[in-house]
Chain A
Amino acid sequence: MTAHAPVSVSPEEARIAAKPRLRRFRQASWDERLIFELGSPGERGVLVPVADPSVEAPAIPAALRRAEPPALPEMSQQQVLRHYLRLSQENLGADLNIDVGQGTCTMKYSPKVNDQFVRDPRIAALHPLQDADTVQGVLGIIHSLEQLLKEISGMDRVSLQPGAGSAAIYTNVAMIRAHFAARGELEQRDEVITTIFSHPSNAACAKTAGFKVITLHPDADGYPDIEALRAAVGPCTAALLITNPEDTGIYNPRIEEFVRIVHEAGGLCSYDQANANGVLGITRARDAGFDLCHFNLHKTFSTPHACGGPAAGACAVTAELAPYLPRPTVELDPETGVYRLDDDRPESVGKMRPFYGVVPNLVRAYAWIMSLGAEGLRAAAETAVLNNNYLLHKVRRIPGVSVPYAAGRPRVEQVRYSWEKLHEDTGLHSEDLGLRAADFGTHYWTSHHPYVVPEPMTLEPTESYTRADLDEYAAILAEIAREAYEDPETVRTAPHRSTIHRVRPEALDDPATWAVSWRAYCRKVLGGAGRP
C-alpha cells in the first residue's frame, strides 16, 4: 500500500450542512420486471420431500389428472428472494413513514416484540384441532383477551373469531338477526339505520345479511341528524349501527339519546368502535347503552395492518345477546383452572370463520394491552387525542385547507379536513396533493365514498408519533399547499420521486383491456404473446 501524504483540511471543509427542513426523499425504484419475466426453465426455488421409493403412487383417473403443468415461474431461491425484497423496498409501510395520513385506520406502532411471540412455533405450529390440554397457553391468551376487552367495552361477553373489522360488523348484524328471529320479529324488523360518516361496511354488511339500509346524513353542524333518526325509527327498526366519534373525528354528544330513541322503538344498538383509540378508558360502549360493539384489533390494539390483513375483529355483547355469539367460546373452569372450547351453543350464529380467529393477532393484541395496562391505555388515548388536536392546530393554518362542521369544537382522534378552497383556487384535487406527499416519503388518504366533505383529507396521528414527527408532517402538507398555489404543475403531475409515475387507469374499467392476471394481459394486450 502506498501511504498518501497527509492533506490539510480546514474544519470548514469538513463541515456537513445541516439537514433541510424537509427531507430530500427518493423512494426505491428498481424498475423490477414482473415475476413472469424472470427465471428460466429448470430453475428451482425449493426442493420438496419425495416419498420413499417403496411407497407406491396411486393411479389417478385420467379425467382427474392435470393435463399441462401450470405455467408458474421457474426461479432459483435467491432470485425469488431478491424479487420480493425489491418489491418490499418499493412499499413504504408504517414502520418507515410518519403514517398519520391514513385516517380511520389507526396506524399506530406495532411492537416488534409481539411479532416474536407469534413467530414462535408454540403459536405458529399449533394445529387448531389439538387436544385442549396441549394448547392451554393459547386458549388462556384468548380467554384473557376476552376478559380485557369486556372491561374496556363494559360488555359481558366477547367473541374474537371475526377475521377483521368488517367481519365483526357482519357478525354483530348476524347476532341482531338471530335475536329478532328468536323473538319472531325478524320479518317485521327488516331495517338497519346507519350514518354516512360510519364505515361503508356498516351499510354493506347489513344489506348482505338481508336488511334494508337507512343512512342518516349530518345536520348543519356535522353531527348525525337526530331529527332524521326520529323520522327513521319505527316498528321496522332492527338496529342502529353507528360509529362515534365518526370519521370526521366529531364525537356525537347526544349518543345516549340516539340509543334511547332506537331502544324505545324496540331496536338494538351496535357501536362500530373502529375509532376507539381516542376513548380507551374514557368512555365505554356499554355505558352509553349499546347492546353490541366491535373493535378492530389491527387498529386500536396495535396488530400490524399487513397490506390489508390478516386483521382481527372483536365482537362484544351484553349477556342478553351472548347466546348468539359465534361458536366455540373459550371457557375457564374456575375449579381446575383448565380452559376448554365450548361448541355446544345451540343459539349461536355458528361459525364466522374456520376455527377460532386470527390467532396471531389475538396474541399480539393481548401482549399490547398487557404491556400498557389501564394507565397505559388511557395515556395512549389521551396522547392520540392530544396529537390530533396539535396537528389540527398546525394544519388548519395552511392556506386552502378548512375543517368543516362543529366550528370551535375539538376533535377526538382524527380530523376530516377539506381542500375545497385550494381546489377552487388552483383546480387541483385532494388526490393530487396526496400523491405529491409520496415525494416526501409519506402519503394520505382522502375519505370513503361518497365524498360528503368536498376534497377530503383524513388524518389520524395516534399516540405513536413525536411532536417532531407531527411538525414534519404538517410542514410537508404546507409545502405541498404552497406548491399548489405557486407551481401547480408539479403537484398535478406528482409523484416524481416515487417508485412509478402517474397511472393511466382507463384500462381498469374496460372488459376488453382490464388485466387481472399475466395471462389475461398477454391475451388481451400483447395479442396472445408473452414477453420475449
Chain B
Amino acid sequence: MTSPQDSAHTYTHPYIPNAVPAVRQAMLEEIGAAGVEDFYADIPDGIRLHRPLDLPAPLRSEAELTRHMEGLLGRNTSTRQALSFLGSGCYQHHVPAVVDEVVNRSEFLTAYAGEPYEDHGRFQALWEYQSMMAELLDVEIVNVPVYDGFQAAGTALRMAGRITGRRRVLVATAIDGDKLSRIRDYVRPDHDVTVVPVDPGTGCADLDAVRDALAAGDTAAVYADTPSALGIVDGALPRLAELAHQAGALYVMGCNPLTLGVLAPPSALGADIACGDIQPLGLHQSFGGGNAGFIATRDEERLVAEYPSRLFGLVPTTVEGEYGFGDVAYERTSFALREEGKEWVGTAAALHGIGAGVYLALMGPQGMREIGETILALTAYARRRLAEVPGIEVPYGDALHFADFTVRYTGGRTAAEIRTGLKERGIFGGVPTGEQEAAYCVTEVHTKADIDRLAATLEEIVK
C-alpha cells in the first residue's frame, strides 16, 4: 500500500500547488501534524479504501489530454457538418457571437453564490434577464432559471395545485412523452395527470373532450403547450383558458419564447402561469445540455408566494443613485425554511439566463419579430414542399406550425429506414414518432434550398 505521504511525493499536478513535497511538509510542520493521515483520524479503518482507485492512467499533460479528447470528439458528427432537421425540444438556432463572448467570460463562468456586492454583475444581469423575459411574456414576474422546461412545467403545475387546493391536472394539447413522464413523476404526491387526446385529424385540442374531463371537477390546472409537441400553434388556446377558468382551474401554458416576437404570449391567451424552456434563446444544443426553464406570472402575492425559485428584485442602496439587488420574498424558499419552503431551490441554470438575456438584448423587438416570421414561413414552406413528395403525407392540414412538424410515410419504407437513408446522404432528421411517422424541424438557419434538398433526398428514399 502506498502511504498518503508517498503518493503525493510522486505527483505534483498543475491544479494542486501544495502537493509540492517541501510545501506540504512545511505546512504539516506549521500545523504540528505528523502527516495528512492525522486529518483522517475520524474515518474508521474498516471503511478506508486500502488500495489505489482502479482508474485509467492519467493523461498528465494538457497536450496528452487534448489529443485524447480530440480522438473522442472526432467520433461525433455535428449539426454543422451535416444538414440537420432535428428539433423536438432542442433547437438548432444561430448563437450570436456576443452571447458566447459574454457567457464565456471568466467572471461569469466561474462565479457562484456570492453577495450582490462583489457579485453585483450577476445579480444585475439576471434581473435584466427576468425583465426582458417579462417584456416578451407581457407579465411582471419571471424567475431566475430552473433546470429546464420540464422542471418548469412540473413546478408550474404544483404551484397551481397549491393555489387551488385541487388534485387533477388536464393536459389538453399534444405533449412530448418525456416531458409527460417528468411531469407525472414530479406532481405525483399531490396530483393525477389526465391527458385529453387531441383530435387525430387536426392535431388540435378536442374542446368537447376537455369540457367533459373538466365536468368531473377537482381540476387544479389545464395545461397546454404552444407550439404543441406536434409543432402546432393551436387556435383553441384562448378557448381552453375560458374552459379552465369556468371550472375554477388555473390555465398553465408552456411556450417556446422564441415565437413571441410574432405570436401572442400566454398571458394574452388567458394563461395564469406560463413556463417553458429558454434553450432556443441563444443557447447551444450541446447534445441536450443547453436546456433551462422559466416560470412567469402576474405580480400577485398569492402567485409569487408559490414560487420555489429565486426571484431577484431591484432595490436602493445607502448611496443615492446606486442600483442594488436582493432576493424577493426569500422566506418562501427551502434555503430559508428547508422542507417547509416551496419544493426546493438550489444551483440550477443561472448562466443560461444571462446568455438568454444577452440574446434578447441583441435581438430586440425587430429581431424577435423577424426570426418568428422567418421560422413560420419556412415551416409552412417545408410542410408544403414535403407534401409534394410522392409517398409523403403531411398531416394536420392548415394548422399553424412553428419549427416542428410531422410527416407520414405512405410507401413501404419505415420511418427508421428513412431516417437512416437520410443520414447516409448527410441529412439528420425524421425522428420516428411511429412506424411510418416522423418529426422534422426547420429554423432560421435553414434556407429554401436546404428544404428543397431535403425534399429531393426524401423523394429518392421514400418511394
Rounded to whole Å, the gap between the CB of A356 and the closest CB of chain B is 5
User: Which of B71, B314, B358 has the most A CB atoms < 10 Å from its CB?
Assistant: B314
Q: How far is the CA of A72 from the CA of B319 in the complex (A)?
A: 28
Contact (A466, B53) CB under 8 Å given A45-B363, A307-B354 = no
- Give chain A residues whose Cβ lies under 8 Å from the Cβ of B362: 45-46, 75, 77, 80
Using known A-B contacts A54-B448, A96-B107, A253-B44, determine if residue A137 contacts B131 with beta carbons closer than 8 Å: no
Choice from A255, A354, A356, A502 contacting B149 with Cβ under 8 Å: A354
Output the nearest chain B residue to A161 by Cβ-Cβ distance: B288
| B249 contacts the other chain (CB 8 A) | no
Contact check, A127 vs B380: say whether CB atoms are below 8 A apart.
no
Interface string of B3-47 (1 = CB under 8 A from A): 010011011110111110001101110111100101111111011
Partner pick for B40 among A118, A282, A307, CB 8 A cutoff: A282
A288: B residues at CB distance < 8 A: 47
Cross-chain contact B264 with A64 (CB below 8 angstroms): yes
- Whether B344 contacts A127 by the Cβ 8 Å rule is no
Distance from B354 Cβ to chain A, minimum over Cβ atoms (Å): 7
Interface contact A435-B90, CB-CB below 8 Å:
no
A52 within 8 A of B: yes
A526 to B307 CA separation, bound complex (whole angstroms):
25
Q: How large is the interface on A (under 10, 10 to 19, 20 to 34, 35 or more residues)?
A: 35 or more
Give the CA-CA distance A56 to B380 in the complex, in Å.
8
Report Cα–Cα, A359/B38, bound state, in Å: 38
> Is B209 an interface position by the 8 A CB rule?
no
Question: How far is B19's CA from A83's CA once the two chains are assembled, in angstroms?
Answer: 41
Picked from A107, A118, A302, A350, the residue with its CB within 8 Å of the CB of B184 is A350
- Give the contacting residue for B113; candidates A102, A358, A379, A508; CB below 8 A: A102
Pair B134/A517 contact, Cβ less than 8 Å = yes
- Give complex CA distance A302, B65 in Å: 16
Task: Give the size category of B's interface with A.
Answer: 35 or more
Asked whether B18 lies within 8 Å of A467 as measured between CB atoms, the reply is: yes
Report the Cα distance A520→B330, complex, angstroms.
18
A213 at interface by CB-CB < 8 Å: yes
Q: Which of A75, A90, A465 contacts B120 (CB 8 A)?
A: A90
Any A CB within 8 A of the CB of B272: no
Q: List 20 A-B contacts (CB under 8 A).
A: A47-B367, A87-B122, A109-B15, A117-B69, A140-B72, A163-B349, A200-B339, A283-B43, A302-B15, A306-B111, A309-B348, A310-B352, A372-B58, A379-B7, A385-B36, A412-B39, A503-B316, A508-B328, A514-B328, A518-B135
Query: Pick the contact of A519 from B12, B134, B321 — CB < 8 Å?
Result: B134
Give the CA-CA distance A86 to B108 in the complex, in Å.
Answer: 11
On chain B, the residues within 8 Å of A399 by CB distance are none
A-contact 0/1 string along B359-375, CB 8 Å cutoff = 01111111111110110
Task: Report whether A410 and B42 are in contact in the complex, using a CB–CB cutoff of 8 Å.
Answer: yes
B47 shortest CB reach to chain A, Å: 5
Bound CA–CA A418/B411 (angstroms): 74
Is there an interface contact between A356 and B288, defined as CB atoms closer than 8 Å? yes
Q: Is B229 an interface residue when CB atoms closer than 8 A count as contact?
A: no
9 smallest beta-carbon distances between A and B, as pairs: A355-B288, A373-B58, A210-B189, A45-B362, A91-B121, A166-B346, A137-B75, A128-B288, A204-B334
Q: Is the CB of A383 within 8 A of B8?
A: yes
Q: A94-B112, A353-B291, A382-B8 are in contact. List 19 more A-B contacts (CB 8 A).
A: A49-B94, A50-B373, A63-B264, A70-B365, A72-B132, A73-B132, A73-B360, A95-B107, A127-B79, A127-B285, A130-B79, A141-B72, A307-B351, A351-B185, A438-B117, A508-B329, A511-B299, A515-B314, A520-B299
